[in-house]
């Protein structure tokens, strides 16, 4: 009996050791195994949480690592102005980078949002040197920047990274097209509901730190229209609005109030993530 128990005990230990080894190593290509958390850091030991940087093969990450510069922004800080030279690509760990178009009469519209799932600076993938968007951080961003020229050199020897960047740019283009249709055909309260749902998905909190002014700029409308739309959603019990913040109190009500575009964009995102896995 003792021998049997001893053998069983040793067999279980061997299985556990094998599982531990499987969890803590990359596969033969240097890619992370499914479900494996990244333990990567920059040259100063700061944790890498951006999914693109976390999931590329080890040899490619080692090419990028020396060029990573840590950045930590303030709320509503602008990283880039429309038409200026694009000097950096940004890979957030947390927070959101809002991509905003501004026309000649100073009206604005958000056309994309970057989180830790992606990167900002899509012009570099087409060898462009300027970017037409304003990049505004809200909530504040913590992550890494890489000089565009350095990243372009890395991409010559990093096919997996290049593919992931191109795939993310494609997803952004699909989302931009859907947002354009949403802004043309759907009511402001539907668009606000869609925007709040997407923001909650990214922030991971029911409390969203957005002012009336920021919401108006993102949705391409006036503050008065945002106030009316927020009032409708608040009366329905979906949100509570106070100065400088929106709290989602009933997500199902908010989903009922939005348009089909929220679900469509989620499908685009899920498809992009499946292709990247």
Reported as a single tens digit per residue, the pLDDT across 176-208 is 999 999 999 999 999 999 999 999 999 999 999
Check for a shared fold between 51-182 and 187-258.
no
Residue 2 has pLDDT above 60, yes or no: no
Residue 247 phi/psi, 5-degree rounding, is -115, 125
- Residue 242 pLDDT: 86
> What CATH topology corresponds to 187-258?
Arc Repressor Mutant, subunit A (1.10.10)
Res. 25 pLDDT band, cuts 50 70 90: very low
In this prediction the pTM is 0.84
Mean pLDDT of the residues in the chain: 88
The DSSP 8-state label assigned to residue 123 in this structure reads: G
Are the beta carbons of 156 and 60 closer than 8 angstroms? no
- Whether the pLDDT of residue 17 is over 50: the answer is no
Which DSSP string do the residues of 53-79 spell out, in sequence order? HHHS-HHHHHHHGGG-EEEEPPTTEEE
Mean per-residue pLDDT, 164-185: 95
Question: Is residue 234's pLDDT more than 60?
Answer: yes
Residue by residue, DSSP assigns 81-100 as -TTSB--EEEEEEES-EEEE
User: What's the CATH class of domain 51-182?
Assistant: mainly beta
d(CA 33, CA 56): 11
Per-residue pLDDT tens digits for 128-157: 999 999 999 999 999 999 999 999 999 999
Parse the chain into domains and list their residue ranges. 51-182, 187-258
Structure confidence by residue, pLDDT tens digits, 101-130:
999 888 999 999 999 999 999 999 989 999
């Amino acid at each position: 009996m003792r021998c049997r128990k001893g053998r069983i005990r040793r067999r279980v230990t061997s299985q556990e050791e094998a599982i531990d080894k499987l969890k803590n190593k990359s596969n033969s290509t240097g890619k992370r195994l499914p479900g494996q958390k990244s333990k990567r850091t920059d040259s100063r030991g700061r944790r890498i949480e951006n999914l693109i940087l976390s999931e590329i093969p080890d040899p490619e990450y080692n090419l990028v690592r020396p060029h990573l510069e840590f950045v930590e922004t303030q709320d509503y800080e602008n990283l880039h102005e429309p038409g200026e030279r694009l000097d950096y690509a940004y890979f957030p760990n947390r927070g959101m980078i809002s991509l905003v178009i501004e026309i000649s009469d100073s009206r604005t519209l958000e056309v994309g949002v970057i989180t830790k799932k992606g990167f900002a600076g899509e012009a570099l993938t087409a060898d462009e040197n300027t970017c037409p968007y304003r990049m505004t951080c809200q909530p504040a961003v913590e992550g890494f920047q890489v000089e565009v020229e350095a990243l372009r050199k890395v991409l010559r020897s990093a096919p997996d990274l290049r593919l992931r960047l191109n795939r993310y740019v494609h997803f952004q283009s699909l989302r931009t097209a859907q947002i354009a249709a949403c802004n043309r055909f759907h009511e402001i309260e539907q668009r606000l509901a869609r925007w709040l749902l997407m923001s909650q998905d990214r922030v991971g909190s029911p409390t969203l730190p957005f002012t009336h002014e920021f919401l108006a700029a993102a949705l391409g409308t006036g503050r008065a229209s945002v106030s009316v739309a927020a009032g409708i959603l608040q009366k329905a019990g979906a949100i509570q609005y106070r100065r400088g913040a929106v709290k989602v109190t009933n997500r199902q009500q908010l989903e009922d109030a939005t348009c089909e575009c929220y679900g469509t964009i989620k499908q685009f995102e899920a498809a992009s993530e499946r292709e990247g896995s």
